[in-house]
Structure 1
Amino acid sequence: MTSTAVRVDVASAAEVRRRRRSLGGLAVVPLLAFTALAFGLPAVAMLDGAFTVRDPASGATSYTAGNLTASLRGAYLTALLGSVKLSAVSAGLAALLGLPLAQAVVTSRRRALREAVLTASGVLANFGGVPLAFAFVATLGNAGVLTRRFGLTDQGWDLYSFWGLVIVYLYFLIPLTVLTLTPALEGLRTQWREAAQNNGATPVQYWRHVALPVLLPSLLGALVLLFGSAFAAYATAAAMVGSSVPLVTLQIADALSGNVLVGQENVALALSLDMVLVAGLVMAVYLPLQRRSARWLA
């Protein structure tokens, strides 16, 4: 009788688990449907256009890799490499400057100051586009307040250049670094620092041999996230530098609007596919790093 009751209880528990799994699957259906409509259809349209070529004489269409080949040549390739360079430099500097700031936030004993910094970081990390470009033009442009006050133009300063754009990108990438690294820094256990100190380790040795190896996956993940954010930025660069700095997002806009050559819309879609592939590579690096970091800091 006892064994029979146990089997019944086990069967009942298994049935409950199956029902919960089925209900959980049904709950995900709206999200999957929204994802398919919001991301799936545009992705299919982009793939179709990237491999489609229209004959201007007959209007007939055919599938070929000519658009992708064109997107990796000449000015288009220069723009793609320019975006990669800008994103890599901006991400590296943002991580280098944001890590000490995030550490200061974590170790601060004033809770109000900490919350104020995190709140401001959340706001500034999402502040971009035309308002950000206008703010920097009014401050550090050729006729900006600080430019005229300190004579920066005579010293070789140029906001409308590669390094000027890097400084503008740092305005929202450093706060994003703080938001990204603060949870990882909070995961460093006090016992690790105390154990290092008890064994005679200096603060530099603690960071070199304990903290940084543990934080390395999070740091690399933050770099990947910063790279992706800078790589996809468009409005700020378009409003500030125009075509003076070659960027793939600006090339896509020019191709779609026909500012350079008419009928290059499908090349723009091929450039978009190039960006998706770069973003896919970035995410392929980011996700394993996040899982590894979560295991260490759990």
Structure 2
Amino acid sequence: MSPLTQTAAGRRWRVGPSVGLLPFFVYVFIFLVIPTVTVAIGAFQDDQGGFSLDKIEALGSSTAMRALRQSLVLSFASAAIGAVLGALLSYLILAAPPTSLLRRAVTSICGVLAQFGGVTLAFAWMATLGFGGLLTNLLADLFGIDATGSAWLYDLPGLILVYTYFQIPLMVIVFLPALEGVRPQWREAAVSLGATSRQYWTQVGIPLLRPAFLGSSLLLFANAFAAYATAAALVSQGAPITPLLIRSALTSEVVLGQANFGYALALQMIVVVAVVMVLYAWMVRRTSRWLR
């Protein structure tokens, strides 16, 4: 076989497997690339379609900055609480044998609860702690608390609580493989050298797990920052976070012509999520060095 024939055969061999990825690339192009380009173009247009920086400058307004600030607080708080509690739950799960029914059941439940969101989750919390909710009425009967409920569930504190509900199981899913990658031989080696359990975790275990923990926390942050449906179902009026402010800009019947401002807000969110995901990829790359 001539070198030219070998080169052509090698090219066919390399191109062949990539054909199976074509539907994925088409999916990414339609549902990620095109919307991103549309948002980026619309953010720099005025209401007549001409180039303008007015909508970008409007991101510095008090309303937009307040929504961004509360979105960051919501994402950081729910990610921090979810990361800590999820890491502790992962450690407890790891204590059970891999074939135990309890471990398989908990991981399966976490997989379901991590995807339990949107209107269904919002309704579950409203039926429990909302106005006239089950727990609200129970507290009123037992302790004399106002039976009409409290409005905190429909504001930032309530959003943090509800978001944490699906952040904890998500943390278990993404952090458990890192814990499983910690080899028992490392602990045995540390103990044989005279290290205590506390010294092992502070000098070996935690430094090894730190990149995976921070990377998982960043993923939780991005997950909360981009969430919309649950907050939209809970907060029917007002726009305390950026996704709801985008909804208001696109659908408001009071202030018209704000669609391009919604594009500018969406571009702002894309930039924040992109930065977080770049940091997440860097953390994952660091973690993969010792998981091999």
Corresponding residue of 2:115 = 126
The secondary structure found in structure 2 opposite 1:64 is coil
2:218 is aligned with 1:229: no
Contact 2:83–2:213 under 8 Å retained in 1: yes
The secondary structure found in structure 1 opposite 2:46 is strand
Which range moved further: 254-263 or 94-103?
Answer: 254-263
Deviations 1:181-208 (A, max 9, x none): 1100000000011112222222222111
User: How far apart are the structure 1 equivalents of 2:262 and 2:204?
Assistant: 47
2:283 is aligned with 1:294: no
User: How far apart are the structure 2 equivalents of 1:245 and 1:167?
Assistant: 18
Correspondence 1:242-281 to 2 at 5 A:
242-243=236-237, 246-281=240-275
Correspondence 1:144-223 to 2 at 5 A:
144-151=133-140, 153=145, 158-223=152-217
Corresponding residue of 2:41 = 48
What number of residue pairs does the alignment pair up?
Answer: 286
Corresponding residue of 1:23 = 16
User: How far apart are the structure 1 equivalents of 2:275 and 2:246?
Assistant: 20
User: How far apart are the structure 2 equivalents of 1:290 and 1:149?
Assistant: 45
Give the AA of the match of 2:206. L
Corresponding residue of 1:285 = 279
2:62 is aligned with 1:70: no
Distance change in 2, residues 1:21/1:53 (3 Å)? same
The secondary structure found in structure 2 opposite 1:213 is helix
2:76 is aligned with 1:88: yes
Contact 1:161–1:244 under 8 Å retained in 2: no
Contact 1:142–1:159 under 8 Å retained in 2: no
User: How far apart are the structure 2 equivalents of 1:22 and 1:145?
Assistant: 59
Gaps of 5+ in 2: none
Contact 1:242–1:250 under 8 Å retained in 2: no
Contact 1:162–1:245 under 8 Å retained in 2: no
Q: Which has the larger radius of gyration?
A: 1
Contact 1:90–1:230 under 8 Å retained in 2: yes
- Residue 42 of structure 1: how far off its partner (Å): 1.6
TM-score, with normalisation over the residues of structure 2? 0.90
What do you get for the CA RMSD once the two structures are aligned? 2.4
- Residue 162 of structure 1: how far off its partner (Å): 1.9
Give the AA of the match of 2:250. L
- Residue 17 of structure 1: how far off its partner (Å): 4.1
Distance change in 2, residues 1:215/1:30 (3 Å)? same
Contact 1:160–1:244 under 8 Å retained in 2: no
User: How far apart are the structure 2 equivalents of 1:88 and 1:113?
Assistant: 31
Give the AA of the match of 2:67. A
The secondary structure found in structure 2 opposite 1:61 is coil
User: How far apart are the structure 2 equivalents of 1:260 and 1:124?
Assistant: 38
Contact 2:239–2:245 under 8 Å retained in 1: no
User: How far apart are the structure 2 equivalents of 1:27 and 1:164?
Assistant: 44
User: How far apart are the structure 2 equivalents of 1:156 and 1:103?
Assistant: 35
Corresponding residue of 1:111 = 100
